């Protein structure tokens, strides 16, 4: 491979990897909608040659999906990504994950075989769980160096929106992702840091605020009137701020900070909005509201079905 092949054209490349059943085809479709030339299940041995060829053809945006079907050659990928970055390719790596229970349910609903499952196993349920655990081990290094999106609790439309927002952020800078969530629906598996704010005053118990969210001015005013809410904001801000430069030195591209309350509607949403605003002055920031986004996605789907 002549490294000069990479030099002639600026190229943005998104690598989609992740667990089988986590939504890679949905993410790839979102990238296709965003103008990327997409290739599914490209063997890692062909990655450098393929990217060089696309640059020769003048391509500007390429998305590639790889998964455990290329297990033997997946260890090649981290070094290939480093090589492409050194040669000027803007690489963004996205890893889609989900809880084991979610993946088992998805495979059961679709009646698909996991790529690593043994067809002759006497206990197919146990074989599926074993295959998922093996897959996690095989993909561990790729996950460690990618931005992780937990698809356990989100709809396809949410995932598409998250991917499109992610690729719009500069690949060469650290991106902070602030995410609100409800503890009652589980902790996001993609979180680098998790902060529990359930001890703060809860607007849910105020009749006039119950059906509002942490984005609404009435809820904002209620929470701002409590000193402990401001203390929590400052403590989280100071903690994240203190470690950001160390994360940059560790070559981290993405850091996901998850803020959880009981329902993911008021306190966590308010703090995510405020933290994202505070850090956006000096850092690339993204906001996600797992429960609110899901409700919005559900409402949009219902509207479309009626039209």
Annotated binding site for GTP: 67-70
Residue 138 and residue 19: Cα distance in Å, rounded? 10
Give the alpha-carbon dihedral of 187, 188, 192, 198, to 10 degrees: -40
Write out the binding residues for ATP: 18-25
DSSP 277: H
- Positions at the binding site: 18-25, 67-70
Tokens of 91: 């690489």
Nearest of 183, 161, 227, 169 to residue 23 by alpha carbon: 161
Beta-strand (E) ranges in 133-276? 147-150, 175-182, 193-196, 254-261
Give the other-Cβ count within 10 Å of 157's Cβ.
18
Q: Residue 274 half-sphere exposure, CB side, CA atoms within 13 Å?
A: 24
Rg value, the chain, Cα: 21
Q: Which of 209, 211, 182 is nearest to 194 (CA)?
A: 182
What's the residue count for the chain?
307
């Amino acid at each position: 491979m002549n490294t000069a092949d990479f030099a002639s054209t600026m190229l943005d490349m998104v690598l989609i990897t992740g667990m089988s059943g986590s939504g890679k085809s949905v993410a790839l479709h979102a990238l296709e909608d965003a103008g990327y030339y997409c290739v599914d299940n490209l063997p890692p041995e062909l990655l450098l040659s393929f990217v060089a060829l696309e640059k020769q053809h003048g391509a500007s945006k390429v998305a590639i999906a790889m998964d455990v079907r290329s297990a033997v050659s997946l260890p090649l990928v981290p070094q290939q990504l480093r090589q492409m970055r050194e040669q000027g390719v803007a690489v963004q790596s996205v890893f889609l994950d989900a809880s084991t229970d979610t993946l088992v349910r998805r495979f059961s609903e679709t009646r698909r075989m996991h790529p690593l499952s043994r067809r002759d196993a006497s206990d197919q349920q146990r074989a599926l769980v074993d295959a998922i655990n093996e897959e996690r081990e095989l993909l561990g290094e790729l996950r460690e160096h990618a931005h992780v999106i937990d698809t356990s609790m989100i709809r396809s439309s949410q995932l598409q929106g998250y991917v499109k927002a992610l690729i719009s952020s500069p690949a060469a800078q650290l991106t902070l992702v602030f995410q609100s969530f409800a503890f009652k629906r589980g902790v996001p598996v993609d979180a680098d840091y998790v902060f529990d704010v359930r001890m703060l005053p809860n607007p849910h118990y105020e009749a006039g605020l119950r059906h509002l969210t942490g984005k609404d001015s009435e809820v904002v005013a209620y929470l701002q009137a409590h000193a402990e809410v401001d203390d929590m904001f400052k403590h989280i801000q100071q903690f994240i701020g203190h470690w950001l430069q160390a994360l940059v030195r560790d070559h981290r591209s993405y850091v996901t900070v998850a803020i959880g309350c009981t329902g993911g509607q008021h306190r966590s949403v308010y703090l995510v909005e405020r933290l994202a605003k505070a850090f956006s002055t000096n850092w690339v920031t993204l906001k996600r509201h797992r429960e609110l986004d899901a409700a919005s996605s559900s409402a949009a789907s219902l509207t479309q079905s009626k039209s």
